C-alpha cells in the first residue's frame, strides 16, 4: 500500500507518492497559490488538486493507505482545526483532514510541517535510531518539531514545540504572532528581511514593502548573497543570527536533553558557517551533561523530509 504526502508551504507545495520509506516518486512542486485557488473553499481546491495528481500519475485510489498533509500552522488536536496560519489565510480555522477525508474516502492526517519533518528525519533520515531529538528549520520563520521517547511530541493540545515564539528579548521586535521579542525575529528569513535596508543600503531595498517580502525571500536571499560576497555587515548579520539561534537552542537542550539537534531550511543551507556558530554557542553554554553527547547536524532528507514524515504519520495512524 502506498501513501500520498503533501507539504503545503507558504509559497510552494510539494506532493509525492511514497512506499514505506522508499524514495518519494511522482514528485511534483506547484505554487501554493495555484493549489488554494478558490478562496474560502480550500477543501474543494485541495481535493481537485489531489484528484488531478492521481489521474495524471495514474495512481489507483484503491492502492492508497491514506494521505498525510503538512501545513505551516499550529493545529488544535482537540478540534482538528488549523489555527494561526498567517501565511495561508485560506486554511485558517479549517478542519482540513475531517472535511477532506470523506470526500476522498481515505484517511487524511494533517500536521504541522516541521513536526512532519521531525517525524521524517527520525524515521528515515539523520535521526534514525535516535529517540530524543529536535528538528529546527530556519526559513521565512523558525519552526521546530520534537521527537521524545521515540514519538512525535505534540503536547496537550497539538501545539507543542513553538520554539520560534519563545521570548528572546522582552523589549524586542514585535513578532507576527503578536508577542514581543520572539526568537523568530532574531534568526529567520523574516529577521534578515527587516535588517536588509540597514545591511544592503536603502537603494537596494527602495520601494519594497518589507512585510510583503517576508514570504518572498528576495531580500533575505540578497543579504545571504552579500555575506558570501564579503559584505562585512551581512556576514555579521548572518553569524549573529546563528549566535542568537545557538542561545535559544541552549535553553531548549537544557530543558529537554535531546541527543540530536537537526538544523535545516533555506537560511541554514544558505549560510553553512551557521552550523559551526550554533555548535560553538551551545557547547560553551549548555549544561555539561546535556552537551557532552549532544550532536548538532544538518538535515539529511532536505525538502523531502516533510513528505517522508507525512507518509509515516499515515502509517503510524492507520496501523494502530
Minimum distance from residue 136 beta carbon to Zn ion (Å): 15
Short-list 147, 61, 146, 74, CA closest to 107? 61
The CB density around residue 83, as the number of other CB atoms within 10 Å, is 16
* Residue 177 or 300 with smaller CB distance to Zn ion: 177
Cell reading at 23: 524514495
Which positions touch Zn ion (CB under 5 A)? 165, 175, 177, 179, 182
For Zn ion, which is the closer residue by CB, 251 or 257? 251
Is 165 or 312 the residue whose CB approaches Zn ion more closely?
Answer: 165
| CA pair distance 164, 200, nearest whole angstrom | 25
Chain centroid to CA 120: how far?
Answer: 12
Q: Please state the closest distance from residue 215 (CB atom) to Zn ion, in A.
A: 16
Q: How far is the CB of 90 from Zn ion (least distance, A)?
A: 22
Q: Is 167 helix (H, G, I), strand (E, B) or coil?
A: strand
Residue (of 57, 76, 85) closest to 141 by Cα position: 85
Q: Which three cell numbers stand for residue 135?
A: 528538528
CA distances from 5 to 27, 52, 92, 158 (A): 10, 15, 20, 20
Q: Cell numbers of 198, please? A: 540597514
Supply the minimum distance, in Å, between the C-beta of residue 185 and Zn ion: 7
Closest approach of Zn ion to the CB of residue 181, in Å: 8
188 within 8 A of 244, measured Cβ to Cβ: no
Q: How far is the CB of 187 from Zn ion (least distance, A)?
A: 12
Identity of the residue, 184 or 303, whose beta carbon is nearer to Zn ion in the bound complex: 184
Q: CB-wise, 180 or 269, nearer to Zn ion? A: 180
Q: Which of 165/304 has CB closer to Zn ion?
A: 165
Query: For residues 182 and 252, which CB has a smaller minimum distance to Zn ion in the complex?
Result: 182
Name residues whose C-beta falls within 8 Å of residue 21's C-beta, 6 or more positions apart in sequence: 123, 124, 308
What is the nearest approach in angstroms of Zn ion to the Cβ of residue 179? 5
Amino acid at each position: 500500500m502506498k501513501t500520498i504526502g503533501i507539504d503545503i508551504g507558504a509559497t510552494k507545495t510539494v506532493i509525492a507518492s511514497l512506499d514505506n520509506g522508499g524514495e518519494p516518486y511522482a514528485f511534483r512542486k506547484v505554487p501554493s497559490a495555484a493549489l488554494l485557488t478558490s478562496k474560502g473553499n480550500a477543501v474543494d481546491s485541495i481535493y481537485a488538486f489531489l484528484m488531478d495528481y492521481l489521474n495524471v500519475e495514474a495512481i489507483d485510489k484503491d492502492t492508497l493507505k491514506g494521505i498525510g498533509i503538512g501545513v505551516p500552522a499550529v493545529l488544535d488536536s482537540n478540534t482538528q482545526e488549523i489555527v494561526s496560519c498567517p501565511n495561508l489565510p485560506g486554511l485558517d480555522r479549517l478542519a482540513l483532514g475531517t472535511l477532506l477525508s470523506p470526500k476522498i474516502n481515505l484517511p487524511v492526517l494533517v500536521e504541522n510541517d516541521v513536526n512532519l519533518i521531525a517525524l521524517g528525519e527520525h524515521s528515515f533520515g539523520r535521526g534514525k535510531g535516535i529517540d530524543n531529538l529536535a528538528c529546527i528549520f530556519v526559513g521565512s520563520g523558525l519552526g521546530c518539531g520534537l521527537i521524545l521517547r521515540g514519538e512525535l511530541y505534540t503536547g496537550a493540545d497539538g501545539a507543542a514545540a513553538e520554539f520560534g515564539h519563545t521570548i528572546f528579548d522582552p523589549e524586542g521586535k514585535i513578532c507576527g504572532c503578536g508577542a514581543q521579542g520572539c526568537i523568530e525575529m532574531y534568526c529567520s528569513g523574516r529577521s534578515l528581511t527587516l535588517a536588509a535596508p540597514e545591511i544592503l543600503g536603502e537603494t537596494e531595498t527602495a520601494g519594497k514593502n518589507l512585510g510583503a517580502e517576508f514570504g518572498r525571500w528576495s531580500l533575505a536571499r540578497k543579504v545571504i548573497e552579500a555575506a558570501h560576497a564579503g559584505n562585512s555587515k551581512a556576514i555579521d548579520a548572518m553569524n549573529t543570527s546563528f549566535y542568537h539561534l545557538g542561545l535559544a537552542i541552549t535553553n531548549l537542550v537544557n530543558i529537554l536533553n535531546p541527543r540530536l539537534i537537526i538544523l535545516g531550511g533555506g537560511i541554514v543551507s544558505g549560510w553553512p558557517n551557521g552550523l559551526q556558530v550554533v555548535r560553538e554557542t551551545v557547547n560553551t553554554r549548555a549544561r555539561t551533561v546535556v552537551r557532552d553527547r549532544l550532536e548538532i547536524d544538518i538535515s539529511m532528507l532536505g525538502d523531502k523530509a516533510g513528505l517522508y514524515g507525512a507518509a509515516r504519520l499515515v502509517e503510524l495512524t492507520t496501523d494502530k
